[in-house]
Structure 1
């Protein structure tokens, strides 16, 4: 049957490996498809990532389907250019369909996108289930589109911005997302499923597109499904597909205050009472971490946590609007280590206002981590400026942004020229060492060995190499900071940049030669 609507997620990165870590279902599109199907409409989803299709192949499938509506999902601005290119090809190929876009970035820049790109007919802002359904129902009657809340659209060469739609208050009322791609992933040996237990985040981080996305709509910014509803979906997936691992994609697994704690406890009780034997991971804030509660969650399968620590500078934490202290971050990491829970830490090493002392403070904080349990993502992370965020507005007001809202990675001016030089040196000289330090992560993700002792030994050696390279990398950054800061002027520092880069290169080669040899040997092993 010909679909009325085709929903599209394009492949984000050309060289992304096909690994269990990266092949996550397009859960947002699957929620949309399930809601539309429940209301009697035919929907097709084309996912360039899980199906490993090129943009050209996606275009061919859309033209063949010839739907009434094509909907693109776009989270961040680094994806927008390719989506615009594909939309333009569709129009030039004669497709007579309404092209709409949704997600964080289009919601933030809805008027600018429609003004500058004629291949787009509308933008669905914020949560899309009800808005997309109403657009589909009224597609042949554009004079009625004014009544569709949450829609920005072009009609008779004018841009119309309708009032925002309130966020969905009761998520239990939504049907479970369709699982169009899970059978294919399971057939490849993957037993992991993406799942959402909540939507939104009650935090007020000024750099976060999630915060901007939900706070610009009406209604509660964080809403949780009932634990009973969540566990019911988990059980369905275990029974239907043999899923043994759940990746919660919640922006924050926990709700605010005491109610958030009680809900997490109820979730643990529900898993225990149902006898569900699975593992799972989620993201949360550092002030959500409580030893008693997390011990209880670990008992029912929790094995990994992502924390947005961001900085070891209280000045920066306050500037980012985190509402968290350095000590709270430190205590959270220590508690997770004590419980033996693997932890990924989001960290921003530099931003436009960073100083050399800030970098030293951050490195000192990171070196205190037990890297056997704590993974820092990334090791050298600069602030990402997402459209529509409070930090985006601030940098524009202070004339520090170099690029426009469509650029893949928006660059900015550093207030301290020495920090700017340090950033250049680290990125130009140490990038290869960053990649080597992360190499083991991708080896483990692609490993489909037979579980033999030799294979496990190789994985252990790789982990040791990774940890040592991370330490060398942090020491090299400190070396760069010390050398640049001791210069009398930025001009003097720039003159010795090439010499300094060579010196760092030689030091890293000398200190890591045995590790490099180990990695080269392991690259040739059957583990790949």
Structure 2
């Protein structure tokens, strides 16, 4: 493949490290409506590796090919044009074939460069990823900042218990398993540089209004479908690693001074334990002391919501919280290993409503074993408790990924098919559910134009559109039940 220049991407000709978020094959979508205002557009993990490596004196080229609106060929051209000695590429499903195209071509043009793949997904599926991507040298295990620094500094292996690279060949190769490797040390997050914000304003132009803040990493829970929980418990020593309240507040102060007022925490779970709740109280105290008039949101579980803590956080700017409810039927929650029952949901939602904090639901409407009655209960729950929506809320379908417990269970039931782009294809156990899946797609996608036309603050129109779609979904359910 011939390379060609991309003139709008200025930077040094040769660099020590190029970090890449690959293109998706689709142009970025500009969001305007209320549902998306708190989404994070930047890729904070890569951005943190970039800033931390640069702070040690290394030259770094950080490329978000999605926001740069680059094709696969253009992405390759930009990488090769910098002649990096190390190339770090984020791998997310379902973009395995795109990453393979990039890595194969970069290998052909830069035969001596080290090509490293990173991300939670490859960390727990190191063996598979090395099979899928033959041009890759190794997989980053654990916190990328430490692993890449080791490589830049000439070690490229585990040193003093730090994170490291799992090489295709060499002493670590025989340790490779489907889960990754032995547990590795975690980064002291307060000591890392704040993320490189090269793409913050670009993300905001595309409608991702919030500044993303990473205050912790990992998750100590055990949801059967979840990659982060497998990664946290099988790859690193501390399942939940955190920054101090002071470090978080200082970063928010920096962005506040630059005119930003809306923040979203990227954490898998902001409040997973007692220490995290104490940290949240200290964080609220610091925000108040520094008189930062901000709005923020985070993710947590339904059983993490308490009146005293959430009233305190609301008073300093908490306006929205994402909760992974997943399902409105205990049988489904048991399958998902949520370790909580839906009976807690009513009190959680009542409390949040009383405090004036918006709840954003995470739901899995369709799974291989879902029944029509479970689908109806999920839609009834969603209709009764939430006034806004995103299109995927009605079309949320269980993602079954290698390395997760649910993949094992579904395989044993004979419900898993081939793996496509790093994700298992699966079939519905009940034919009527497959028919409902097609009905739901037709109904929701027929209103996509209306959904995308809504403006950022037009919450009432969004709510009205949601009710119209729910009416049509209930009609489809009733028709299929006849």
Q: 1:490 — aligned with what?
A: none
What displacement does 1:281 show? 1.3
Classify 1:396/1:51 alpha carbon distance in 2 versus 1 (closer, same or farther; 3 Å): same
- Paired with 2:479 and 2:91, the residues of 1 have a C-alpha distance of 37
Structure 1 segment 102-501 matched on structure 2, within 5 A:
102-138=118-154, 150-155=164-169, 159-161=173-175, 163-168=181-186, 170-185=188-203, 192-239=210-257, 241-256=258-273, 258-369=274-385, 371-372=386-387, 377-404=392-419, 406-407=420-421, 409-415=423-429, 419-423=430-434, 425-437=435-447, 439=449, 441-444=451-454, 459=458, 462-483=461-482
Unpaired runs of at least 5, structure 2: 1-11
Deviation per CA, 1:403-443: give whole Å up to 9, x if none. Answer: 12x4365222333xxx33322x2343332321355655533
- Paired with 2:459 and 2:195, the residues of 1 have a C-alpha distance of 38
Classify 1:346/1:444 alpha carbon distance in 2 versus 1 (closer, same or farther; 3 Å): same
| Segment drifting more, 290-299 vs 100-109 | 290-299
Higher relative contact order (CA closer than 8 Å, sequence separation 6+): 2
| Segment drifting more, 95-104 vs 372-381 | 372-381
Classify 1:70/1:244 alpha carbon distance in 2 versus 1 (closer, same or farther; 3 Å): same
- Secondary structure (helix, strand or coil) at the match of 1:414 reads coil
- Paired with 1:382 and 1:32, the residues of 2 have a C-alpha distance of 32
Normalising to structure 1: TM-score of the pair? 0.80
- Secondary structure (helix, strand or coil) at the match of 1:246 reads strand
- Secondary structure (helix, strand or coil) at the match of 1:308 reads strand
Classify 1:17/1:187 alpha carbon distance in 2 versus 1 (closer, same or farther; 3 Å): closer
Classify 1:154/1:465 alpha carbon distance in 2 versus 1 (closer, same or farther; 3 Å): same
- Secondary structure (helix, strand or coil) at the match of 1:7 reads strand
Classify 1:148/1:244 alpha carbon distance in 2 versus 1 (closer, same or farther; 3 Å): closer
What displacement does 1:260 show? 2.5
Deviation per CA, 1:343-380: give whole Å up to 9, x if none. Answer: 221111232222233223323323322x3267685213
What displacement does 1:393 show? 1.9
Deviation per CA, 1:166-185: give whole Å up to 9, x if none. Answer: 34263212222222223555
- Paired with 2:318 and 2:401, the residues of 1 have a C-alpha distance of 31
User: How many aligned residue pairs are there?
Assistant: 461
Q: 2:8 — aligned with what?
A: none
Question: Are residue 36 (structure 1) and residue 46 (structure 2) matched?
Answer: no
- Paired with 2:459 and 2:204, the residues of 1 have a C-alpha distance of 27
Classify 1:444/1:341 alpha carbon distance in 2 versus 1 (closer, same or farther; 3 Å): farther
Classify 1:292/1:148 alpha carbon distance in 2 versus 1 (closer, same or farther; 3 Å): closer
Deviation per CA, 1:190-220: give whole Å up to 9, x if none. Answer: 7631111111112211111111111112322
Classify 1:157/1:323 alpha carbon distance in 2 versus 1 (closer, same or farther; 3 Å): closer
- Paired with 2:292 and 2:345, the residues of 1 have a C-alpha distance of 31
- Secondary structure (helix, strand or coil) at the match of 2:235 reads coil
- Paired with 1:185 and 1:362, the residues of 2 have a C-alpha distance of 32
- Paired with 2:138 and 2:122, the residues of 1 have a C-alpha distance of 10
The structure whose residues are more often helix, as a share, is 1
- Secondary structure (helix, strand or coil) at the match of 1:242 reads coil
Checking the alignment, whether the CA contact within 8 Å between 1:343 and 1:373 is kept in structure 2 is no
Q: Output the aligned Cα RMSD.
A: 2.9
- Paired with 1:341 and 1:146, the residues of 2 have a C-alpha distance of 45
What displacement does 1:302 show? 1.4
Classify 1:338/1:128 alpha carbon distance in 2 versus 1 (closer, same or farther; 3 Å): same
Checking the alignment, whether the CA contact within 8 Å between 1:99 and 1:121 is kept in structure 2 is yes
Checking the alignment, whether the CA contact within 8 Å between 2:389 and 2:466 is kept in structure 1 is no
- Paired with 2:330 and 2:237, the residues of 1 have a C-alpha distance of 31
Question: Are residue 24 (structure 1) and residue 41 (structure 2) matched?
Answer: yes
